[in-house]
């Protein structure tokens, strides 16, 4: 089986979950809609799906192109830190909220780096 094809679904799933979490989070941050329990829970679920898909991708890439998985493992760690901050501290409307957003953006950048590396490895193999 062609490795990049293997990663395509998880990659698209990861990007969709991230976008959903980002939109719901930004709407909350800029007060575009009231932060109801339902919307916050939807944001948390999208965020957890983002975490799960980075984890799945890191595991897959680790098998097909081990050297390329580093940024994905790093992204997973950064998401975990960002999630713990959000779940156990009051982050709404303060600096911790911005830190949470920055950590998630950083994690997405690292995940994209890992995806690009895995594709390059597969193309040159
Ligand atoms: C496991 C992943 C995640 C968890 C558990 C999580 C959890 C939370 C929680 C509990 C809040 C506070 C909501 C409130 O009470 O008003 C929040 C806010 C927010 N989240 Fe997430 N989140 C996750 C992923 C993400 C991702 C991937 C992004 C996208 C970049 C993101 C961006 C934001 C933003 C912008 C806010 C608003 C902060 C504010 O009001 O100052 N989160 N998140």
Q: Which of 99, 91, 16 is nearest to 52 (CA)?
A: 16
pLDDT digits (tens, 9 = 90+) for 79-117: 999 999 999 999 998 999 999 999 999 999 999 999 999
Q: Cβ(29) to ligand 1 under 6 A?
A: yes
| Probe target for ligand 1 pocket from 26, 32, 39, 86, with the most ligand atoms within 8 Å of CB | 86
pLDDT tens for each residue of 13-33: 999 999 999 999 999 999 999
Give Cα separations from 60 to 20, 31, 69, 72, 81 (angstroms): 23, 38, 9, 10, 22
Residue 3 has pLDDT above 60, yes or no: no
**CA 25 remoteness from chain centre:** 13
Q: Whose CA is nearest to atom 6 of ligand 1?
A: 44
Q: Would you say the pTM of this structure is higher than 0.85?
A: yes
């Amino acid at each position: 089986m062609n490795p990049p094809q293997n990663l395509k679904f998880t990659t698209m799933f990861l990007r969709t979950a991230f976008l959903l979490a980002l939109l719901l989070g930004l709407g909350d941050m800029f007060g575009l809609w009231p932060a109801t329990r339902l919307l916050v829970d939807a944001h948390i679920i999208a965020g957890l799906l983002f975490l799960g898909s980075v984890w799945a991708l890191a595991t897959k890439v680790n098998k097909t192109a081990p050297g390329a998985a580093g940024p994905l493992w790093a992204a997973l760690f950064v998401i975990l830190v960002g999630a713990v901050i959000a779940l156990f501290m009051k982050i709404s409307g303060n600096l911790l909220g911005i830190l949470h957003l920055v950590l998630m953006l950083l994690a997405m950048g690292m995940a994209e780096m890992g995806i690009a590396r895995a594709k390059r490895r597969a193309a040159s193999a």
